[in-house]
Amino acid sequence: MVQNFLWLVAIAFLTSSLGCNTQPTGGLVEGSLTLNGNTVSGNAKVVLMNMVSGAAAAAPLEENGRFATEEHLPPGNYVVFLVPATFAENEDETAVPKPKREGSNAVRDVSAIPRKYWDEATSPWSCAIQEGANQCNLNAGQGRA
């Protein structure tokens, strides 16, 4: 009887401790957005959506044209598209950089991105997500760069 009780306690301890140290599975994504080689920034988010499983994540577009997901995504193929960030998400609307037109690395406003990239049904961008770190660089006018 005591031996059975000790086995039950050991199994309960092992079962409860297994969930305590689990690492998130899936992949994180980071990348950049360019238009004709120029950095793109503005009040938008980059969305990655798996059209089979429905898994998705949105990453804010930073001033330097970079984005990174905070959520781990299950491995698979994802359609990538843009969505406007809401006014409430952008604390200071004046913080959005103004487009610079001079130089080869000029910053372009996200509003210059063609309309097809703003819809999951028409965006040609895609990204294959694997476990761990993933890079997904996007160039408007092309598919995945």
23 burial class (0-12, 13-18, 19+ CB within 10 angstroms)?
exposed
Q: Residue 58, Cα to own-chain centre: how many angstroms?
A: 5
Question: In this predicted structure, what is the pLDDT of residue 22?
Answer: 63
Residue 95 confidence class, pLDDT cut points 50, 70, 90? very low
Q: Across-strand partners of 49?
A: 56, 79
Q: How many residues does the chain have?
A: 145
91 burial class (0-12, 13-18, 19+ CB within 10 angstroms)?
exposed
Domain residues of the chain, as ranges?
24-140
Instruction: Give pLDDT tens digits for 97-145.
Output: 444 444 545 678 888 999 999 999 999 999 999 999 999 999 996 444 4
For the entire predicted model, the pTM comes to 0.71
How many Cβ atoms from other residues are within 10 Å of residue 4's Cβ? 8
Q: What is the DSSP string of the chain?
A: -HHHHHHHHHHHHHHHHHTTTPPPPSEEEEEEEEETTEEEESSEEEEEE-TTT--EEEEEPPTTSEEE-SS-B-SEEEEEEEEEPPGGG-S-GGGSPPP--SSTT--EEGGGS-GGGG-TTT---EEEE-SEEEE--EEETSSB-
CATH fold for the domain made of 24-140: Immunoglobulin-like (2.60.40)
Of residues 10 and 82, more confidence is placed in 82
What integer best gives the mean pLDDT of the chain? Answer: 79
